[in-house]
Structure 1
């Protein structure tokens, strides 16, 4: 019921040797100029209590990234206002590209990844987030992901 990207699309393994770059399971900095956090695009599964999740990366401004790090382990951090960002994960299952969709990253309690809310557009991913997906769609995604592996 979930699939995740290990890094933002712009990450290159060569950055591992760059002292101004870092990649962890939750944050990424590229050349001290580009800042990312990982989060979840959650989609309700119609007719069930299940939620399908895409684990994605979003870019943040330097200021919002610094603030997110400042409160990363702080109880009550979910009271933070959402951070604007750009989706930095291309989900190939969507014929319309998903890179650079507008997002809001909603901080959740310590230990939980941020909830990534897409701008309410007519993009198929944004529509699915708002209206949900069927069990058949979940199976379709699972089959596509299996064939990509």
Structure 2
């Protein structure tokens, strides 16, 4: 009997012992490897700056998994204004930072498992306690990602995502 957290891939037929409950983007969609050595660019696991003009933070789009206590998450990048990025950076290691008002931003991660682009979806970035990634709240639109965040997904949908991610071109 297969566990709910196993994956038998519909793309290749292979059985995987664990069903991933999260995926993450290493950099914003606009990042280029050529930026790595530039003095006005930075890419860390949490923050990104491009040409001292574009500012990004990494956060989580969390989606409840229906009928379980599980949460599926996408680790995504969101662009912020210079002022909001500076404020978030100033508070990065400050206890109590979670009381900060959310920051407006644009999603800058392409999640190819969705039929419509996820680039430039409107978001609110909610700061969490030190050591926790921000929560990314999508504007409540009809975009499939926003609908999934609002309504939740089934474990079968988690399996579909896993298969699509494993077999992405």
TM-score computed with the length of structure 2 as normaliser: 0.87
Structure 1 partner of 2:32 = 12
Task: Name the structure with the higher helix share.
Answer: 1
Q: Report the aligned-residue RMSD.
A: 0.7
1:142 aligned residue (158, 162, 165): 162
Q: Tell me the CA shift for residue 50 of structure 1.
A: 0.2
Q: Tell me the CA shift for residue 145 of structure 1.
A: 1.0
CA distance in structure 2 between the aligned counterparts of 1:64 and 1:109, rounded to whole angstroms: 17
Secondary structure of 2:63 counterpart = strand
Structure 2 partner of 1:34 = 54
TM-score computed with the length of structure 1 as normaliser: 0.99
Tell me if 1:3 matches 2:3.
Answer: no
Q: How does 1:43-122 map to 2 (within 5 A)?
A: 43-122=63-142
Provide structure 2 residue ranges, at least 5 long, that are not aligned to the other structure: 1-20
Q: Tell me the CA shift for residue 67 of structure 1.
A: 0.2
CA distance in structure 2 between the aligned counterparts of 1:123 and 1:9, rounded to whole angstroms: 19
Structure 2 partner of 1:129 = 149
CA distance in structure 2 between the aligned counterparts of 1:43 and 1:17, rounded to whole angstroms: 36
Q: Tell me the CA shift for residue 131 of structure 1.
A: 0.2
Cα deviation, 1:96-135, whole Å, max 9, x if unaligned, reads: 1100000000000000000000000000000000000001
CA distance in structure 2 between the aligned counterparts of 1:12 and 1:18, rounded to whole angstroms: 11
Cα deviation, 1:47-89, whole Å, max 9, x if unaligned, reads: 0000000000000000000000000000000000000000000
Structure with bigger gyration radius: 2
Runs of 4+ with >2 A deviation: none
